[in-house]
Amino acid sequence: MKWKTLVHNGVAFPPEYEPRGFHIKLKGRTIALNPQQEEMAIAWAKKKDTPYVKDPVFAANFVKDFVKLFPPEYKDVKIDDIDFSEINAVVDKEKNVVLDKDAKKKRAVERKKIREEMKGKYGWAEVEGQKFDVANWLVEPPGIFIGRGNHPLRGKWKPRVYHKDITLNLGEDAPAPKGDWGKIVHDQDSMWLARWVDKLTDKEKYVWLSDAATLRQERDKAKYDKGNKLGEQIDKVIAKIYQAMESRFEAKDGCYDVLPHIQTGNEGW
């Protein structure tokens, strides 16, 4: 089942981090943070009251990625060598702010409006002239990787994904969404809309049509039906394989002449 036309607006990205001019102390030296350093420091500060920061593997993995953003002289820094007190104070203060009922309602309404606007732009794709919902149209924001259980990568930093990291799958006549995309392809045999390599796990991530999309359901059903048909023929396939093997392997003096050009005998068996 090949599609002929595929139109969509790519994927939505989380907003860029807005720096606030924080500082930390590394081995007693006060350092002004750049936006990327500050984003990581804020993420760590928000975890400070959780069990994660007490996990030595979690802390070591975070620090290893964090110090990569600093001069080589800090490459051997440990978590106890970093003073986040300025950021911690702000995080605590903001955590303790209690919004009144009206303020909470207003913020919820604003967030819902923003999300609906983004979904209206990125939450659909048009295939063969029909509109379908898109499942995961929002790219994950950067952050500290938690993982499950004792995952070896826990505590490491999930880097931000940019336009240049993403390949889009579009119809040949479809307008390219605005952005400096890594690549645009026209894979008519596939239903993915966008893909990129996760910089932390090195695995490919995909954006698909929603599971509820009738076109995707039809494609999945076609795959399952084909699998069932192949399953019904499995005994015949196995019999053919054994038949082919028997025709190639001839017993000679208790050995098998696996490769015709090799003289078989007792040596090596």
Do residues 106 and 197 both lie within one domain? yes
The pLDDT assigned to 250 comes to 52
- Residue 187 above 70 pLDDT? yes
What percentage of the chain has pLDDT greater than the value 70? 83
Q: Tell me if 215 sits within 8 A of 190, measured CB to CB.
A: no
Residue 20 neighbours by CB distance under 10 Å: 11
Give the chain's mean pLDDT: 87
Residue 243 inside a domain? The answer is yes
Residues 6+ apart with CB under 8 A from 183: 167, 168
Q: Tell me if 62 sits within 8 A of 77, measured CB to CB.
A: no
Q: Tell me if 122 sits within 8 A of 134, measured CB to CB.
A: yes
Residue 265 inside a domain? The answer is no
Residue with the larger pLDDT of the pair 232 and 78: 78
Rounded to 10 deg, the angle between the 56-66 and 35-45 helix axes is: 170
Q: Tell me if 65 sits within 8 A of 159, measured CB to CB.
A: no
Residue 261 inside a domain? The answer is no
Domain boundary among 95, 122, 153: 95
CA distance 165 to 179: 11
- Residue 118 above 90 pLDDT? yes
CA distance 173 to 159: 33
Residue with the larger pLDDT of the pair 217 and 61: 61
Residue 54 inside a domain? The answer is yes
Domain range enclosing 130: 6-13+101-212
Range with the lowest mean pLDDT among 49-63, 124-138, 243-257? 243-257
The pLDDT assigned to 213 comes to 53
Structural domain count of the chain: 3
Please report, for the domain that includes residue 105, its CATH number. 2.170.11.10
